[in-house]
């Protein structure tokens, strides 16, 4: 499809051309296994370590604190299972706090931890999708071992007050895991300011390839592995590293300032939001009006089902989403919006538009016009049916 009309960057971003070239070059020229001691292996290892260093510097970490995984989901699994099981095994407690609107790779892990005897509380969010730090403070207990929160939500883009909560957990000796998959590359992510003990990153959400992600593990934080094999990645993630994808991850991070996803997305988001406000004044915007990612605009048009709107836009050549790409079914209302206090009908009306480097002012204007036309057609058809 026309990449200018691709508005689902929160699900995955097209690779930057320079990243694609880097991945191809490594696939064609670097055949070694980073664990081998010959020249081909040493060169492959050098590529992995170069990317590790670039990624570490970008978030204020040490090289050794970056553990490569194959996906953000795997990194979240390693963070939660690894931290919870180790701390419980050491007799430090079994109480865990997670946000109510976390990614399924966090919520389903905690469901499993409950089956293993852990006590998990889900932190409520307000109408804007934000956790109240005071509520976190009230729920922290002597046996709390872990708090896990998204930096920014993947459905509505709301940014959590992670720096305040990180300071709180650090003072109490509670591990703090932050899922920064959506925020990394769009807004600053600094593990020192957040005071994160564990933090998840993913290449394909910010111009990199699929198949490469990372977990930041703060020096001194100990995890139990969740898969077993060789000694790669500090014995936390055994298996031969995906060298081409990791090379692409590092390249994407190098290009963050050049592509400036946050600045570009903010300008396009404002332009689209203004167009929608003029043409569809009854439209609702979900998420926090200020503390939100500059690249996500999630709207609801009363009496217009989001999935039907998404399908009609797709027919016209626009790719958007009526929910998270990781949801079990887009025909069901978003659990994120339900947790934010919206009704089932309101949640079913939601449409997520996520902007990225391929979008232009003209393609944003075209999307705005198409939204206006389709919404008017659908409302007219609904009135016609009711009138019969």
Domains of the chain: 3-12+260-387 (3.90.1150.10), 17-254 (3.40.640.10)
- List of residues 6+ apart from 305 with CB closer than 8 A: 348, 349
Side-chain half-sphere exposure of 313, counting CA atoms within 13 A: 29
76-109 residue pLDDT tens? 999 999 999 999 999 999 999 999 999 999 999 9
Q: Which residues sit opposite 69 in a β-bridge?
A: 213
d(CA 149, CA 300): 25
The CB-side HSE value for 337 (13 A sphere, CA atoms) comes to: 27
Q: What is the mean pLDDT of residues 188-206?
A: 98
Q: 283 catalytic, yes or no? A: no
Q: How confident is the model at residue 34 (pLDDT cuts 50, 70, 90)?
A: very high
The mean pLDDT of the chain is: 95
Q: Strand (E) positions, 197-254?
A: 198-202, 213-217
Residue 239 has pLDDT above 90, yes or no: yes
Grouping H, G, I as helix, E, B as strand and the rest as coil, residue 228 is coil
> In the 8-state DSSP scheme, what is residue 15?
P
Contact in structure between 154 and 324 (CB atoms under 8 Å): yes
DSSP state of 272: H
Q: Using CA atoms, how far apart are residues 191 and 114, in angstroms rounded to an integer?
A: 28
Position 325 scores a pLDDT of 57
Using the predicted structure, report yes or no on whether residue 345 has a pLDDT greater than 80.
yes
pLDDT of residue 301: 94
3-state secondary structure 295-340: CEEEEECCCCCHHHHHHHHHHCCCECECCCCCCCCCCCCCHHHHHC
Write down the H helix ranges in 90-195: 104-115, 133-139, 162-172, 191-194
The candidate with the shortest Cα–Cα distance to 295, out of 162, 189, 186, 204, is 186
Structure tokens at 119: 């006590």
pLDDT-derived band at 31, boundaries 50, 70, 90 = very high
Contacts of 363 (CB under 8 A, 6+ apart): 2, 4, 5
CB atoms near residue 78 (< 10 Å): 25
Q: What is the pLDDT of residue 380?
A: 77
Average pLDDT value for residue range 235-259: 97
d(CA 338, CA 344): 7
pLDDT above 80: residue 350: yes
Task: Look up the pTM and report it.
Answer: 0.95
Structure tokens at 379: 């409302």
More confidently predicted of 120 and 385: 120
For residue 327, is pLDDT > 70? no
Q: 78 by DSSP, 3-state: which?
A: helix
Strands 284-286 and 144-150: unpaired
* Distances, alpha carbon 309 to alpha carbons 73, 247, 381, 382, 387, in Å: 29, 38, 13, 13, 22
Statement: residue 326 has pLDDT above 80:
no
CB-side neighbour CA atoms (13 Å) of 124: 8
**Is the backbone of residue 224 left (phi > 0), alpha (psi -120 to 50) or beta?**
beta
Mean pLDDT of 106-115: 98
Q: What are the φ and ψ backbone dihedral angles of 77, each rounded to 5 degrees?
A: -60, -45
> How would residue 381 be classed by pLDDT, with cut points 50, 70 and 90?
confident
CA atoms of 119 and 110, how far apart (whole Å) = 9
Residue 59: pLDDT band by 50, 70, 90 thresholds?
A: very high
**Catalytic member of 42, 326, 328, 383:** 326
Which pLDDT score, from 0 to 100, does residue 328 have?
A: 45
Q: How far is CA 230 from CA 41, 172, 222, in A?
A: 16, 35, 18
Burial tier of 260 (Cβ tally within 10 Å: 0-12, 13-18, 19+)? middle
pLDDT tens digits, one per residue of 263-278? 999 999 999 999 999 9
With CA atoms as reference, report the closest residue to 156 among 362, 306, 309: 306
14-25 residue pLDDT tens: 999 999 999 999
Distance CA 203, CA 233 (A): 17
Element (H or E) spanning 5, and its range?
Answer: none
Q: What is the pLDDT of residue 324?
A: 58
């Amino acid at each position: 499809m026309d990449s200018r009309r691709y508005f689902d960057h929160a699900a995955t971003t097209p690779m930057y051309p320079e990243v694609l070239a880097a991945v191809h070059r490594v696939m064609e020229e670097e055949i070694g296994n980073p664990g081998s001691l010959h020249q081909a292996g040493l060169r492959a290892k050098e590529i992995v370590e170069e990317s590790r260093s670039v990624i570490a510097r970008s978030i204020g970490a040490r090289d050794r604190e970056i553990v490569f995984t194959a996906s953000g989901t795997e990194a979240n699994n390693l963070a939660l299972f690894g931290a919870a099981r180790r701390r419980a095994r050491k007799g430090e407690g079994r109480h865990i706090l997670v946000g109510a609107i976390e990614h399924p790779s966090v919520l389903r892990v905690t469901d499993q931890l409950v089956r293993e005897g852990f006590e998990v509380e889900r932190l409520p969010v307000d109408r804007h999708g934000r956790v109240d730090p005071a509520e976190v403070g009230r729920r922290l207990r002597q046996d709390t071992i872990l708090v896990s929160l998204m930096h920014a939500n993947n459905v509505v883009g709301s940014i959590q007050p992670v720096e305040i909560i990180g300071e709180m957990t650090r003072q109490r000796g509670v591990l703090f895991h932050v899922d920064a998959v959506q925020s990394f590359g769009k807004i600053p992510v600094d593990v020192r300011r957040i005071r994160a003990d564990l933090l998840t990153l993913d290449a394909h959400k910010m111009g990199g390839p699929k198949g490469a992600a990372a977990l930041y593990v703060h020096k001194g934080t100990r995890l139990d592995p969740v898969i077993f094999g060789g000694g790669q990645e500090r014995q936390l993630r055994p298996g031969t590293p995906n060298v081409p994808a990791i090379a692409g991850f590092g390249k994407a991070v190098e290009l963050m300032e050049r592509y400036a996803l946050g600045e570009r997305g903010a300008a396009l988001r404002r332009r689209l939001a203004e167009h929608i406000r003029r043409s569809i004044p009854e439209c609702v915007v979900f998420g926090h009006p200020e503390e939100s990612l500059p690249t996500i605009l999630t709207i609801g048009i009363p009496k217009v089902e989001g999935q039907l709107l998404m399908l009609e836009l797709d027919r016209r050549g626009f790719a958007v989403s009526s929910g998270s790409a990781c949801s079990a079914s887009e025909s069901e209302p978003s659990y994120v919006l339900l947790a934010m206090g919206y009704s089932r009908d309101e949640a079913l009306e939601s449409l997520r538009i996520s902007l990225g480097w391929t979008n232009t002012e003209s393609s944003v204007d075209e999307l705005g016009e198409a939204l206006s036309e389709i919404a008017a057609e659908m409302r007219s058809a609904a009135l016609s049916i009711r009138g019969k």
